[in-house]
A and B are shown apart, each in its own frame.
Chain A
Amino acid sequence: MITEPLTTADELEIRDVVVDFTRTTFTSERVRAAALTPRGYDEVAWKQMVDLGWTGLGIAEDVGGAGLGAIVQCLVHRELGARLAPTPFLGSAGFGAAALDVLVDDDEAAHGLLAAVVDGTVQCALALGHGRGWPGHESPSITAQPVDDGWTVTGSAALVLDAARADVVLVVAALEEGGWRLFQVAASALTPTPVPLLTVDVTRTYADLLFDHTPATPIGASSVTSDRVSLLVDRIAVYLAAEMVGVAIACTNQTLDYLRTRHQFGKPLGSFQALKHRCADVAVAVTVAQELVFSAATLIEADDVTSLALAAPLALARAGEVMLHATQEAIQLHGGVGFTDEVDIGLYYKRALGDLELIASPVDAYARMDLVRTGKTS
């Protein structure tokens, strides 16, 4: 927005390539058309993104990624959000890859799965067994049971992002002896077969998942603590927050374009001070939220888990609030056309509604932030 938190020449170059591709690919027509296809996303564009290596940008080089880190990963989330790109990028290359990276130490299965996510042969989704937000004291919603020849998982997860068409569902399930473990469940093992939920956001697919002693394969040799699961939530919260910022920036820019060109009373709407001041407030809020998000991404790269624990819920909460405000202001500032389906502003508002429910609402994220700040997380 007013500032660009990307600074290095490499980051700016990657940004320009990403922006160029997303602008020409995810046009309004194509985004709307993709929503009507059986898979619910733009398969051609998704394949191109995989071929271009986007699914591996933030993933380590030894498993086939480019190892460019969290800032570049966030920049891709931001730009895809800006175009409301209908792809499984956030669920698979964002959430899924993060779970494999954060919860599993040195494991061939994880490496193999990560490599498959990178090269597009596997599209995965992530089901968190503690429920929404960060793990707390609530009983787990998905548990794991050892059986003779392996493991099963039991429980449910509501509105799981990109799960309706996933090949593999990664499940973070609670163990009976305490702690958590990451499992993979083949989509074919799920009964009933997940069906895409019809939600307000047609650019996204969600599914409710049910697990009833469903065969599951553990990934990684050992269990992990709640703190480690929290670290995973911190990571994906920052990715989602980057997308939120992209949504807010794009709908604000479209609104500014409209105010510069639409005339009433013989002058451009944007020359009216009442509208100018609202735009200034939105632009400042979006700019600052973006600073929070990319600062948090820097903390991921620096592996500063203490600061990240505070920065991630802060970024998610503030980006969420600002995104909602920006999309609502965009409708109002567009006037009559703002609430019609003729312009894309409504699509941004509905993406915002979906994003706010994905991990934690701003209220819940702030509550988490307070717990971390006062040292009451455990």
Chain B
Amino acid sequence: MTSLDHQVLGPAFAQTPYDHPFRVELRAWLAEHPVDPEPLDQDARFRHRRDWHRTMAGNGWVGLHWPVEHGGRGVDPLTQFMYYEEVALAATPEPVNTPGLILLGPTLMAHGSAELKARFLPGILSGDEMWCQGFSEPDSGSDLASLRTRAELVGDEWIVNGQKIWTTFAQYADYCFVLCRTEAGSERHRGLTLLICPVDQDGVTVRPIRQISGDNEFSEVFLDDARVPKDWVVGEVGQGWSAAMTLFQFERGDQGYTDHARMLVHLLDCEDALRVAEADGTLTVDRAADARRVQRDLWVRIQELRHLNYRGAVLAKAGQELGAVGSMTNLVWGELEKDLGSAFAEASGARSLVLGRHDTHARLASRAASIYSGTSEIQRNIIAERLLGLPK
């Protein structure tokens, strides 16, 4: 008998069966804690996500991969894989504070002082303090090492000047981890330092960037004599590149985990929308047939992403390098997310032109997916040159 799990998620994997005790425990908790669907308005959506984060954190369901000494459960990547599938199946709000949870937190654990760990890790986990990432600059995107934001130690404070861009959810953040140049005249990877900069101060101006979807998920962050306490340095002064590389490893290690299950649940909505649109005549028979074919292809492609994520979890559990899987996942995920957004809109035909609808919004918002975490074209270059050994 095919169960609902199989219908929605697909075939089980040997190491993450649908009756795994971890799934059973989490399902029971989720069943007792129903949550409203996400609102469309971005500010309301963020608050909704943050509130849910706090509810989960209060019950020990956030940061499961963090070590027990820092408030996590120290679970392995396969358990995390199940975690993400289960929270998606329950249609919970998307995670917030991922720059803190996935990137800065683990990097602090690896490079941070005891004082910084004690000061910042609890707030990341609880969701009481929100984080954003200050790496990219207007002239330093893919070529991060060319960054020009600089910091100078004056007394017991760093004075930071420069501009960051594409900073996700900076307008909601309490802290920004800023990669900046602390040695005057240094070049490339040398002389960089990773600082923790409070956002709520006169020297920091956040200017959200309006997207074609109407959202303002990304911001420009202007640093004009922004002040950072002297000791709020992640790792050593001048060793910021090393800290950043550690951080990127965590980013690559996590890429995409959350999304296949969320996509599969989303695809169910698309399938429902298509049935309605076909029944009420919104779509012609031909258009509905085409939409059905597209939706089936999407199910297959999400299964592929799911298998890549599973492979990534198996490799991570074995302590292996995930770089290769990361580039593939990125490419597969970005292209898929766009096509899923379009399919969601297509299932309702002309209605998806009307503002205020999730499908209208999803189609526009998804266009960013193959750009913001490294364009598909860059990913293909990386795959061809680094993984397939084609000449530069």
A288 in contact (CB, < 8 A): yes
B383 at the interface (CB under 8 A from A): yes
Majority DSSP secondary structure for residues of B touching A: helix
- Listed by A's residue number, 17 A-B pairs whose Cβ atoms lie within 8 Å are A271-B392, A276-B380, A276-B390, A277-B384, A280-B379, A288-B307, A289-B304, A291-B311, A292-B303, A292-B307, A299-B11, A299-B14, A304-B11, A307-B12, A308-B11, A314-B300, A375-B2
Q: How far is the CA of A309 from the CA of B318 in the complex (A)?
A: 29
The yes or no answer to A2 lying at the interface (CB within 8 A) is yes
> Using an 8 Å CB-CB cutoff, how does the interface string of A297-315 with B read, 1 for contact, 0 for none?
0110110101111110010
Other-chain contact of A2, B11, B385, B387, B390 (Cβ < 8 Å): B387
A337 in contact (CB, < 8 A) = no
Chain B residue at minimum C-beta to C-beta distance from A285: B304
If A259-B390, A307-B11 are given as contacts, then 13 extra A-B residue pairs at C-beta distance below 8 Å, sorted by A number, are: A2-B328, A2-B387, A3-B325, A260-B389, A276-B380, A277-B380, A283-B387, A283-B388, A291-B304, A298-B13, A298-B14, A318-B300, A366-B300
Does A296 count as interface, using CB distance less than 8 angstroms? Answer: yes
Which residues of chain B come closer than 8 Å to A281, judged between CB atoms?
Answer: 380
Q: Which residue of chain A is the closest to B292 with respect to CB atoms?
A: A370
Question: Residue B296 contacts which of A273, A276, A370 (CB distance < 8 angstroms)?
Answer: A370
Measured CA separation A373–B315 after assembly (Å): 29
- Are A279 and B390 neighbours in the complex by a CB distance under 8 Å? yes
- Beyond A2-B324, A256-B388, A291-B311, whether A280 also contacts B383 by CB under 8 A is yes
Whether the Cβ atoms of A288 and B304 lie closer than 8 Å is: yes
**Chain A residues closer than 8 Å to B325, beta-carbon distance:** 2-3
Complex alpha-carbon distance, A5 and B296, angstroms: 26
- Residues in chain A near residue B324, CB distance under 8 A: 2-3
Interface pair A268/B391, CB less than 8 Å apart: yes
CB–CB B311/A3 < 8 A? yes
Instruction: Return A251 CB to nearest CB of chain B, in Å.
Output: 14
Which residues in window 98-125 of B have CB below 8 A to A?
Answer: none
Q: Which residue of A lies closest to B17 (CB)?
A: A304
Contact B11 A295 (CB under 8 A): yes
Assembly CA distance A2 to B384 (angstroms): 11
Could you tell me the distance between the alpha carbons of A373 and B268 in the complex, rounded to whole angstroms? 13
Flag if B14 contacts A302 (CB, 8 Å): yes
Q: Is A210 an interface residue (CB 8 A)?
A: no
**Interface check A270, CB cutoff 8 A:** yes
| A-B contact number at CB 8 A | 124
Residue among B11, B13, B303, B304 facing the most chain A CB atoms (10 A cut-off): B11
Q: In the complex where A5-B311, A260-B391, A284-B332 touch, is A314 in contact with B11 (Cβ < 8 A)?
A: yes
Q: Is A68 at the interface (CB under 8 A from chain B)?
A: no
Inter-chain contact A373/B384, CB cutoff 8 Å = no
Task: Tell me how many residues of A have a C-beta within 8 Å of chain B.
Answer: 47
Interface residues of B in 319-336 (CB under 8 A from A): 324-325, 328, 331-332
CB-contact partner of B7 in A3, A275, A291, A375, under 8 A? A375
Inter-chain contact A260/B303, CB cutoff 8 Å? no
Contact A296 B11 (CB under 8 A): yes
Interface size on B, residues (CB 8 A): 40
- B300 near A280 with CB under 8 A, answer no
Nearest neighbor of A284 in chain B, beta-carbon distance: B328
Give Cα A301 to B314, complex, Å.
Answer: 18
Which residues of A are found within 8 Å of B7, using beta-carbon distances?
373-375
**Nearest residue in B to A289 (C-beta to C-beta)?**
B304
Does B3 have its Cβ within 8 Å of any Cβ on chain A?
yes
**Which residues of the partner chain A approach B377 to less than 8 Å between Cβ atoms?**
277
Tell whether B10 is near chain A: CB-to-CB under 8 Å.
Answer: yes
Question: A24: CB under 8 A from chain B?
Answer: no
- A127 to B328 CA separation, bound complex (whole angstroms): 40
B2, A366: Cβ atoms closer than 8 Å: no
Q: How far, in whole Å, are A288 and B300 apart by their CA atoms in the complex?
A: 11
A260, A306, A366: most-surrounded residue (chain B CB, <10 A): A306
Once bound together, how far apart are the Cα atoms of A289 and B324, in whole Å?
16
Cβ contacts A342-378/B at 8 Å (1 or 0 each): 0000000000000000000000001000101111000
- Specify the chain B residue showing the minimal Cβ separation from A312: B11
CB of A287 closer than 8 Å to a CB of B: yes
Note all chain B residues with C-beta closer than 8 A to A291.
304, 307-308, 310-311
* Cβ-neighbour of A307 out of B6, B308, B389 (below 8 A): B6
Can you name the residue of chain B whose Cβ is closest to the Cβ of A298?
B14
Query: B154 to chain A: which residues have CB within 8 Å?
Result: none
- Nearest CB on B from A330, distance (A): 14
B391 CB contact (under 8 Å) in A2, A270, A302: A270
- Among residues of B, the one whose C-beta sits closest to the C-beta of A273 is B381
- Binary interface encoding of chain A residues 67-95 relative to chain B, with 1 for a CB under 8 A from any of its CBs, else 0: 00000000000000000000000000000
Contacts of B318 in A (CB 8 A): 7
Question: CA separation between A309 and B7, bound complex, in Å?
Answer: 12
In Å, the complex CA distance between A139 and B377 comes to 50
Name the A residues within 8 Å of B11 (CB-CB): 295-296, 299, 304, 307-308, 310-311, 314
B278-313 interface code vs A (CB 8 A; 1 in, 0 out): 000000000000000000100110011001101100
Which A-B residue pairs are the 9 nearest by beta carbons? A307-B11, A276-B384, A311-B11, A270-B390, A280-B380, A280-B383, A291-B307, A288-B304, A277-B380
State A4–B6 Cα separation when bound (angstroms): 25
Give the Cβ gap from A91 to chain B, nearest Cβ, in Å: 27
The answer to whether B2 and A309 have CB atoms under 8 Å apart is yes
In the bound complex, how far is the Cα of B322 from the Cα of A3, in angstroms? 10
Contact B331 A271 (CB under 8 A): no
Q: Which residue of A lies closest to B303 (CB)?
A: A314
- Out of B2, B308, B311, B389, name the residue touching A306 (CB < 8 Å): B2
> A207 vs B239: C-alpha distance in the bound complex, in angstroms?
69
- CB neighbours (8 Å) of B3 from chain A are 306
Report B-chain residues with C-beta under 8 Å of the C-beta of A268.
390-391
